[in-house]
Structure formats: structure tokens, C-alpha cells
Amino acid sequence: MSYLAVYWKRYWKLFLASVAFLSVEACCDLLQPTIVSKIIDEGVASGQIAVVLRFAFVMLGVTALGAVGAVGRNQLASRVSHRFGADLRLDIFKKINAYSFEELGRRDAAGLLTRMTNDTTQLQHFANGMMRIFAKAPILGIGAFIMVFFLNPRLLWFLLAVIPIVIVLIVTSLKVGAPFFVKLQAALDRLNAAAREYLSGVRVVKAFNTFDQEVKRFGDVNEALSGIAIRVGRVMSMFNPLITLAMNMAVVALLWLARPLMETSDVKVGQIIAFMNYMAQILQAVNMVFNVYQQFIRARASAHRVGDVLSFSPKEQAKNGAETARGTRGFKTRRRALTRDVLLATDAASAIEAAGGYNPDTITGHIEFKNVTFIYPDTKTPVLRDVSFDAHPGETVGIIGSTGAGKSSLVNLVPGFYHPQAGEVLLDGVKLEEYDLVALREKISVVAQKAQLFTGTIAENIRWGKMEADDEALVEAAKAAQAHDFIASFPDGYDTLLGQNGVNLSGGQKQRVSIARALVRQSKVLILDDCVSAVDAATEAAILQALRREAADVTCLMVTQRIASVMHLPKILVLDGGAAVGFGNHEVLMDSCEVYREIYRSQVGKGR
């Protein structure tokens, strides 16, 4: 949890200022019972109204000063905790953005979301409690002991008799309750995962009418969470009443034994009333410690989980440092300082460039695969085996093969999403690992197999490719992607608002907007990963013709299942089981590649 030291350095002054205000408030609270005892013993008992009024005005002033302390403490605590929470959430988001695809593949998306929301909120609440509650507890508890001693040392023995019992109860409760809070957070993770899976696959659930099964699955994890929460409540609910009982027994013992002391004037009525108030303050302090420790157990579990997200190995930092540093442009926050881990990642990226990183500004787009073998993390079977081919600027290389042949895996290596275990992927004769990743990806446009759009207008989604693109460039890209006509048919045109993931567009419309987003980037390398599967043949032909016209000097890798989409190309790469079994034009492959012939016959017929 050393990463939290960064935030302490950032906010320690405001934290201590909040504790100072809290100390003023607590001291004022401690003075009030003593003032009440003075009013009773020196004013009421002797009938001196002037004494009563004098101490009443003193109490009024002390109360007003305590109110000022409470207001200052609340405002500072709220400000610091909310800033801390906002900074931590942003840093987690930046760190997740810097994760490699290997790292993202190892992690559960629902777990990452929980860390960014629930776990961060737990830490934020604990920070707030530290400034508002926890720091007040020792001041009240220790201060009450001191005030009772100065009020009447004889009364201190009643406190000393009950405090060991209270300490034993507190330690026992915290020891018993700690494991339950860890289990509670894990159960919450499972609940979030189940809810996320259902929401992301709700169309499939409704289509297959499996709602009852989903209800049962969610009900099981929900019941597990509820069961753990009930057990936590059952265990922890016993200790507060026991602590209160112990404190009240001390009060009863005092009232029972106070009579002989009062008869000898060793103890006065006002002192007994003040003692009871101090007992209440000590009980309040104990409850504060008890409640804050419960928060601490939850916050500690959350802190470990957040720390797990923010931790990076040096190798990962070197590969993704530049992405961390630059990948969050557009975010505005008053706290621009990154956490220590993010700074380390940035330093790692700078080290790569200083050691000979290549500037992608001069990229022409010549792609070479040399004996590339690739295996996904945590698997043993290669998805690509000894693949070699090249693509020159201005060329479109078709990539075809059966499902699972490795087509998408191959093109994912070009933007540096993954790195091969053997062989080399070169761009203009330079290995991809030598480039600054973020700058490299600015020269590459990718249209993914699954069209991913974002909440906002159509224009905003197209501008994801190039934020500074003007309206004319947007329209030109949309026309090339055969998207302009249907966009213009909407009442709001390019200002039409899209729902989450473009839910109000058809599959083909989403694919065409995705293609427009890639074209507006005007990159040197264009990757089309089976991105026209949802459009009809005529629209696909129009898109491909526009691509040949608009991207004449661009290196294009085109993944497809349709042989008609690539058979006219001068270069076609045929994959089968991760291996390159053919490379050439249609005529060459029909003569030399049995896999290509089988695909042709299955889609077109037996002729050539």
C-alpha cells in the first residue's frame, strides 16, 4: 500500500488542518461537562444566579467555538476525501489504459470496475473518517480520563475498573470480524461479474428465453453476498451492546457507591453528573474506534486490490509507458500529478526513446512478417506458426482462412497489441518494439471485427479517428465508407445521438461508421478485420472501390471470410491452423493452395 504515500504528500497539509479543527471541537466537547458541574456545584447549590449566568455564557462561547471547529473540520474532510477519491479513480483509469492486451486478458473486467468504483469509495470513506471521526476518538477518550482526574481523582477508579473489559471486547470483536469483511468484498466482485455478464448478453438471454436460468445464477451470488453480510451483522451486532453494558455498569456502580462519598463531601452532585457525561464521551470514543476499524478492515482489503491494479512489472512498464503518459489526453483535472507508478511508467517510455526509439513520423507503411510465431498468454498452443509475408505501401493484402485460423491474431500484432514469441514484425524495416507505441498507433487505423461505438453523436464517434478533423473531412470519410446517405437521412444528421455502443444503429450501419472513423485518420496503415460482414455485397463492393480510391498510398491488411472480397487483389495470404499455407494472387493460389481451392469451391462453385 506504499502507493498511498503519494496522496499523503499531496494532501497532508489539508489533513492536518482538518485535524486541528477537529481538536478544537473535541476540546470544547470535553470542557462542557466540567462547566456543567461548576454551574451545579458553585451556582445552583449555593443559589448564586450570577455564578450560573457567568458559567452559562462561558459554555455558550465554548459551544460556539466547538461549532466553528466542527464546520471547518467537515469542510476540509469533505474536500480532501473527495479530491483523493477523484485522483485515485483517475490514476486507476490511466493505469488500466496502460495495460497491455496480455494483462487485460488476465483480468476480469467486472473486478477492474469494482476497484475503480467500490474499492475507491471505501478508501475515500476511510480517509473522510480519519479526519472526521478517528482522530477525534483518542482526544475524547484520553481527554475524558484527564478531565475526570482533575474533576475528582476518586472517580477515576470507576473508569479504571471498566476499561480492561471494554478493551477485551473491542479486540475480540475486531479479530472475529476482520475475515468476514474480506469475504464480503470478494462476494461483491462475484455479484458485479454476474450482473455485467447478464447486461452485456441480455439480447442472447432474451433470444434463447433463458431468463429463468439467469435469475437463478444471479440469485445464487446475490444470496451468497447477503448471507455473508448477515453473518457480519450478526457477529458485530453483539459487541456494541456489550460495550455499552460495561460502561453503564460503571455508571450504576458509581451511583450505588456515591452516597457515602457525597455525605463526606468528597464527591459533589455536579461532579457525578459531569462524570456520567465523560463516561458517555468515552463510550462515544469507543464506538468511534469500533466503527472506524470496521471501515479500516474494508479499506485495507480495497487498498490491496487497488494496489494490485496499480502495480506493474518493469517489462510491462517499458512496453506501455508511453501509452500511459499520452493515452489520456483530453482529460481535465485540477490534480494533474500522476501516482508514483504512472511516473515510473513514463520514465520507462522515455528510456526506450533515449535508447534508440524510432520516430514514426516518417513511416511509409512497408509491413514485413518474418517467421512469426505467436501464443496467447496463459495458453500453450500457438495461434500463429512461422508466418512470413510482406505488404508494400499502396498494396492491399487479403487475409483469408477458416474460423480460428489466426487471421485476427495476425493483424493484432501490427499495432503492437501483442508481441510474437518468435520471429519479427517489421514496419519500414524496423521492429515494432523499437517504436514509441502511442506515436506508432497514430499512424495505424484499425476497424475491428466487432464495431465499437461510444455514447455521443455520430460526428463525435467519427472524430475518434482524428479529433481535429473538420466537417468536410468527416463527410468525405463517411461517403467513402458508404455511411453518408443513411446519416443524412436522420433528422439530426451527423449530430444524431447514439446510445451505448450505437444501440440505435443496425450492425451494418455501425460497421460503416467504424470504417469512416478509420478513414478520417488518414493513416499509413489500414487494418480491416472482417469489418464488412454485416453489409450486403453491393455496399461492400462500393466500400472496397472507395478504399482503393481514397487510400491509394496506404498499406491495407484486409481480413475477410468472403473470397469474393479478396480474389481480385494481387496479394492474398491464406491461413490454416495458424500457418501460412499460401501467398499470392488468385490464379497462383488456385494452382498451388488446396485450402484456398476448398474455400473457393465452397463459396463460388467448382469452376475457376
The answer to whether residues 33 and 278 touch, using CB atoms and an 8 Å cutoff, is: yes
Read off the pLDDT of residues 382-433 as tens digits, 9 standing for 90 and up. Answer: 999 999 999 999 899 999 998 889 999 999 999 888 889 999 999 998 898 8
Q: What is the mean pLDDT of residues 504-515?
A: 89
pLDDT above 70: percentage of residues in the chain: 86
Domains of the chain by residue range: 4-311, 312-329+336-355, 363-443+523-603, 451-516
The CATH number of domain 4-311, selected from 1.20.1560.10, 3.40.250.10, 1.20.950.20, 1.10.3720.10: 1.20.1560.10
pLDDT at 320: 43
Q: DSSP readout, 469-482?
A: --HHHHHHHHHHTT
- How far is residue 381 CA from its own chain's centroid? 32
The answer to whether residues 474 and 494 touch, using CB atoms and an 8 Å cutoff, is: yes
Read off the pLDDT of residues 291-314 as tens digits, 9 standing for 90 and up. Answer: 777 677 778 777 887 888 887 553
The Cα 320–Cα 99 span in angstroms is 7
H or E segment to which residue 398 belongs = strand 396-401
pLDDT at 360: 62
The Cα 80–Cα 124 span in angstroms is 9
Give yes or no on whether 4-311 and 363-443+523-603 have one common fold.
Answer: no
Type of residue found at 399 = I
Read off the pLDDT of residues 314-359 as tens digits, 9 standing for 90 and up. Answer: 344 444 444 433 433 333 333 333 333 333 333 433 433 433 456 6
Decide if pLDDT at 185 tops 60. yes
Q: What is the mean pLDDT of residues 443-470?
A: 88
> Does residue 559 or residue 158 have the better pLDDT?
559
Decide if pLDDT at 254 tops 80. no
pLDDT at 556: 92
Q: Coil, helix or strand for 451? A: coil
Read off the pLDDT of residues 134-162 as tens digits, 9 standing for 90 and up. Answer: 778 888 888 888 888 887 777 777 777 77
Confidence of residue 607 (pLDDT cuts 50, 70, 90): low
In SS3 terms, 167-189 reads as HHHHHHHHHHHHHHHHHHHHHHH
C-alpha distances out from residue 143 to 42, 137, 222, 449, Å: 23, 10, 45, 67
Q: Coil, helix or strand for 166? A: helix
Confidence of residue 250 (pLDDT cuts 50, 70, 90): confident
Q: What are phi and psi of 461, to 5 degrees?
A: -70, -40
Cell numbers found for residue 135: 482522530
- How far is residue 489 CA from its own chain's centroid? 38
Strand 367-374 and strand 525-529: the pairing is unpaired
Q: In the CATH hierarchy, which fold is given to the domain comprising 363-443+523-603?
A: Rossmann fold (3.40.50)
